[in-house]
Amino acid sequence: MNKTNKILILSVSSLYIVGTLVMLKVLFNDGGKMITDWISAFSNALMAGAAVYAASKAKDWLSPKLNERKFKFADELIDYFCKLQEEAFYLHSDAKQIINTDPDIQGDDKAFSVHWNAISKRDIEYRKNTINLRTTLERMELWGLEPKNKEEFKAIIDSHLTLSFTIENALSVGADEKRFRMQNSFEYDRQISEKYKSVRASHNKIMKHYSKLFVD
């Protein structure tokens, strides 16, 4: 028999005794005031003790669960940041390649246009993922998790959004605008590279152990 069951049996037995004493009091009503006072005090103490015990057991059970979920949340958050950086790497690389493609050697116009638009859609998805990550960061404190340096996390989000908007501007000229594409590439090729360097630099600042990133 486990400890909890023993306590429950003891509680029920105690309440049974109290009930029996109450019945005796009813039978011998005249001289029972002192007995009634003792019964009332005993009952209150018993219920208070049961409540304290239940609260302590709930705390013992809940604390590890919260700590476990908190750690899991932090782990998922860092994993999300790593995936976003990987997404930024491939997107910025593909964007640079396509805006620097010479119209004379690009091949089939329709196929090239489809590829151009596909990269543009990836940029939109990348921006959505960045915004979703920002929202997830805002939910951290609901789990009792707080970053030691909020500015480091904010800098990462800002760098991703800046890169995304730069890629959007680079692709805004359109695949069919062959006359302006090369001029556009000269303007944005270097900008995209610089913005991606900012993404990498901001991520390097959070490549630390969990205990150095969050206050729990």
Determine the pLDDT at residue 183: 80
For the chain, the average pLDDT equals: 76
The predicted model gives 40-60 an average pLDDT of 50
**Selection from 26, 21, 27 nearest residue 40 by Cα:** 21
Give the angle 71-77-80 at the CA atoms, nearest 5°: 145
Residue 120 corresponds to which tokens in the numbers above?
Answer: 């543009």
pLDDT for residue 42 is more than 70: no
C-alpha 46, offset from chain centre:
42
For residue 191, count other CB atoms closer than 10 A to its CB.
Answer: 15
State pLDDT tens for residues 110-123.
998 999 999 999 99
In whole angstroms, what is the distance from residue 78 CA to residue 72 CA? 10
Q: Is the pTM of this model over 0.75?
A: no
